[in-house]
Structure 1
Amino acid sequence: MNLNWMPCVLLALCAQKLQGLSVEFGRPLPFRVALGRELVLQSITKKLPTEDIIMVTWERNGDTGMRRLATIPGKIQDYRISTEDGGTTLRLSDIQESDFGRYIITVTGLDGTQSSAYKDVRKSDRPPEASVVLLCDVSPEGAQWDSPVVTWLVDGVKVTNQTAHTSEGGSKLHLQELKGRNYTCISNSSLGTSVAHFILPDSAVSGNPCAVCVCSSNIIVALLAVLCWQ
C-alpha cells in the first residue's frame, strides 16, 4: 500500500464527517409571491445515517430587521405559519408586504452541528399571462427521416414571430394576441403536405363563454382549441 495516500484518505473521511449535516434549497433563484397568496419553502436536508436533527429554526431578514418565525420543536410566532417534514418545510398563508425578505433555515444536529440556507422572497407585481393554444398534432404513417415543419395561417395571413408566439417546431400556436376567425395549419415533411382548418364558431365570436372544436385531416389527427372569454 502506498502510504502517501493516507493523508488524502484521512482528509476525505474528515470532510465527509464535517459535511454530513447540510440543508439547502433546490432552486437558487428568488421566489416571487403575490399579496394574499401562500408561500411554501421546502428545503432539502442531507445527513449521515447516524445523525439526527434535533432542532429547526426559521428566520426572516426583511425591512423590519431579523425576526425569528418558528422553532421546531418549540414555538411558531405567527398564526399564518405551519410546518411540515419535521420543520424543514414552511408554509405561510395570506402573504403581506412585511413578509418579503430573506428566509433563513438552520438545522441543528444531536452533536451541536449546524447548517443554514436562505431563500429570497420577493413581491410578484403581476400574475403570469395565461395562454390558449391551438395544437397541430401530426401522426406519421411510418418511419421518416425528418420532422414536420408547421406553418400557420390566420385569416389567410401567414403567422410570423413578430405577429404571434409559436412553440419550438411550430406545432403550438398561442392565441392571446390573435383576433382571427379562420386558423389553418400546414404540415410539410418527406411524407407530403397536409392541411387542417379550424374556424371559430359564430357563437364564440359573438361572446359565447366557451367554444371547443376539433378538426382533423389526413396525417393531422387533431386541432384542438378551447377559447374562453369572460
Structure 2
Amino acid sequence: MDLLGVVCWRVAPLLLLLPCGSQCMTVHVINEQPVYVIPGSSLDLKARIRRSPTEEISMVTWEREPETGFDPVKVTLATCSGSGLKCAGTRPNVRVNTKQQETTLQINGFSRADSGEYSVTVTDRTGANTSAHCIVREYEAVHHVSVSINMSHSSLVCGEAWGTDPSFSWLYERGAVTQTVGRVSGDGTTLFVSLKPICGHFTCVVRNKMGDSSATYTAAPCESKGRGMRVAVVCLVLLLLLLLCGGFYNMSDIHLDLHLCCISTVRQTDSLLWEVSLFCRHL
C-alpha cells in the first residue's frame, strides 16, 4: 500500500467522528457589541444564518439570561418553528421574524430588566443546533461629574461616576478654552493649564445621548492689570485736588491725607488690596 493510501485510511475515521462536514449551519449576531439601549426605546437584534442548500431550519429560539450571577436563569423570549417558521413572542412587546438566511428580535419599551446576555439558537431537521450570543446593556445617563487638580503637573482632571459613551469638554469663565488658558488632552478628560498662577473658574462638561452634567473648579480670582493703574490715577487726581485747595494744609498733612485716601480706596476694592497697598506705601 502506498503512502497516500495509508493517510486516507487514517484520516477517514476521524472525519466520521465530526458532527458535520462542510454543510454545518452557523449563526452570528451582526449588531456591534455590546449593544446599548436607551430606556423606553426599542431593542433590535439581527442574526445572520449561513447554511447549505440541503439544510433546512426547523426551529429558531431567542433567549436571555443575566450577564453576571452565580445561578443565572435563562428566559425564552420567542420561538419560530413549523412550516414557514411561524414565530411567537412570550410577551406582548416582543416581536420576532425569521427567514432562511436571517432572524430578527425586537423588544419595545426597553427597561433595565431587559439587559443581559441574549442568545439565538438555530436547529436543523436532524436536531443539530448552533448558537450565537450578544451582550445587551442599558444606556445610562452621565452622573456625578467632578474636577480635581494636580498641582505638580498644573492640570485639572475631569471624572464621572458612570455614564455610557461620555464625551468631555472644558470651559474657562463660561467661554471656550484658548491656548492662553491651556491645552485639552486627546480624550478630553484632562486640561493642562498654562496660566501662572492658576486662577478663575474651570468647568468640565460631560455629555452623551441622554444629556449632560458638569462640575466647576474655582481657583483664586485673577488679577487685572488695568485696575491697579486706575486706582493710581484716582490717587493722583486727589493729590492735585489737595494741592489746589491751597494753604490750609502743609505738605506733611497732604501726604497723610493722601495715604488715608488710598487706604480707603483699597478697602473698597478687595481684589486690588495688595497691588494698591504697595502703590500707596511708595507715596
Q: TM-score, normalised by structure 1?
A: 0.51
1:124-203 matches, within 5 Å, as 124-126=139-141, 128=165, 160-162=183-185
Residue number in structure 1 paired with 2:55: 51
Residue number in structure 1 paired with 2:6: 4
Structure 1 CA distance for aligned equivalents of residues 55 and 43 of structure 2: 29
1:1-230 matches, within 5 Å, as 2-6=4-8, 7-8=10-11, 11-12=14-15, 14=18, 16-17=20-21, 20-26=24-30, 29-62=33-66, 65-72=73-80, 73-86=86-99, 88-126=103-141, 128=165, 160-162=183-185
- Compared CA separation, residues 8 and 157, structure 1 to 2 (3 A): farther
Structure 2 CA distance for aligned equivalents of residues 48 and 158 of structure 1: 64
Question: SS state of the match for residue 134, structure 2?
Answer: strand
Structure 2 CA distance for aligned equivalents of residues 111 and 39 of structure 1: 32
- Greater relative contact order (Cα < 8 A, sep 6+): 1
Q: Deviations over 1:68-120 (max 9, x none)?
A: 11111343112222223427211112101221112121111011111122212
More helix per residue: 1 or 2?
2
Q: Which amino acid aligns with 1:124?
A: Y
Structure 2 CA distance for aligned equivalents of residues 12 and 158 of structure 1: 70
Structure 2 CA distance for aligned equivalents of residues 40 and 49 of structure 1: 28
Structure 1 CA distance for aligned equivalents of residues 19 and 180 of structure 2: 64
Q: Deviations over 1:129-152 (max 9, x none)?
A: 579xxxxxxxxxxxxxxxxxxxxx
Are the aligned partners of 2:87 and 2:98 in contact in 1 as well (CA < 8 Å)?
Answer: no
Structure 1: give runs of 5+ residues left out of the alignment: 132-153, 166-175, 178-230
> Percent of counterpart pairs with the same letter?
26
The alpha carbon displacement at 1:52 in A equals 0.8
The alpha carbon displacement at 1:44 in A equals 2.3
- Compared CA separation, residues 158 and 97, structure 1 to 2 (3 A): closer
The alignment yields a C-alpha RMSD, in angstroms, of 3.7
The count of aligned residue pairs is 147
Question: SS state of the match for residue 21, structure 2?
Answer: helix
Structure 1 CA distance for aligned equivalents of residues 90 and 57 of structure 2: 21
Larger radius of gyration: 2
Q: Which amino acid aligns with 2:89?
A: I
Are the aligned partners of 2:87 and 2:96 in contact in 1 as well (CA < 8 Å)?
Answer: no
Q: Which amino acid aligns with 2:58?
A: I
Question: SS state of the match for residue 32, structure 1?
Answer: strand
- Compared CA separation, residues 110 and 157, structure 1 to 2 (3 A): same
Q: Which amino acid aligns with 1:80?
A: N
- Compared CA separation, residues 112 and 124, structure 1 to 2 (3 A): same
Q: TM-score, normalised by structure 2?
A: 0.42
The alpha carbon displacement at 1:66 in A equals 2.4
Structure 2 CA distance for aligned equivalents of residues 25 and 163 of structure 1: 32
Structure 2 CA distance for aligned equivalents of residues 111 and 15 of structure 1: 11
Structure 2: give runs of 5+ residues left out of the alignment: 81-85, 142-163, 169-176, 189-203, 206-283
Structure 2 CA distance for aligned equivalents of residues 159 and 70 of structure 1: 55
